[in-house]
């Protein structure tokens, strides 16, 4: 009976350790920052997307995306974007797109290619955003 109990305990521990591994925890994380500190009004949102820029079909270009509230004290602030590594192709070119919206208008964005490291585990990528020229009137 003791051997059965120890064997069962070993199986449970092995299962718990396996669930703590990299499976499902592939992500890109880092800080969104700017050349000079910025503050934003309450309600500002950051949109972050991992894009395949080697694809010609825009519908297939977005690998993963998320949005989050921008802290009122502005930059820098942390982000985390989980993604499925199975959606990545050998030889693909991937970038991280970041933009800050205030009342639906883009006010800041990453204007340079942010090459991402792909594979399992966590890739660390800090992204610099810059002010964007105001857009014209929005269509209703």
pLDDT, one tens digit per residue, over 99-116 is 999 999 999 999 888 777
Average pLDDT over residues 36-50: 90
Closest listed residue to residue 29, CA positions, set 132, 98, 111, 103: 98
Q: Is the peptide bond before 45 cis (omega within 30 degrees of 0)?
A: no
Checking if the pLDDT of 1 tops 50, the result is no
Per-residue pLDDT at 5 = 29
User: Token pair 């942390």 is at which residue?
Assistant: 78
> Which of 59 and 97 is assigned the larger pLDDT?
97
Q: What's the pTM? A: 0.72
User: Token pair 């490291």 is at which residue?
Assistant: 117
Q: Is the peptide bond before 76 cis (omega within 30 degrees of 0)?
A: yes
The C-alpha atoms of residue 81 and residue 63 are separated, in whole angstroms, by 10
Q: If phi over 0 gives left and psi between -120 and 50 gives alpha, with beta otherwise, what is residue 69?
A: beta
Closest listed residue to residue 40, CA positions, set 74, 67, 68: 74
Contact 66/81 with Cβ under 8 angstroms? yes
Report which secondary-structure segment, H or E, holds 127. strand 127-131
Average pLDDT over residues 90-105: 89
Contact 138/116 with Cβ under 8 angstroms? no
- Long-range CB contact pairs, 15-19, < 8 A, 24+: none
Per-residue pLDDT at 25 = 62
Record the tokens describing residue 113, joined without a space.
């290619």
Per-residue pLDDT at 78 = 95
Per-residue pLDDT at 89 = 81
Per-residue pLDDT at 77 = 94
């Amino acid at each position: 009976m003791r051997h059965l109990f120890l064997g069962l305990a070993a199986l449970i521990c092995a299962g718990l350790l396996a669930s703590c591994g990299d499976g499902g925890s592939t992500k890109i994380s880092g800080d969104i920052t700017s050349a000079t500190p910025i503050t934003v009004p309450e309600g500002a949102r950051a949109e972050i997307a991992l894009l395949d820029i080697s694809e010609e079909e825009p519908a297939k270009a977005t690998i993963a995306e998320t949005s989050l509230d921008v802290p009122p004290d502005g930059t820098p602030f942390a982000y985390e974007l989980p993604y499925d590594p199975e959606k990545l192709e050998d030889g693909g070119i991937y970038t991280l797109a970041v933009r800050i919206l205030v009342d639906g208008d883009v006010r800041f964005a990453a204007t340079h290619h942010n090459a991402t490291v792909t594979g399992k585990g966590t890739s660390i990528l800090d992204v610099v955003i810059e002010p964007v020229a105001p857009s014209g009137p929005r269509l209703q």
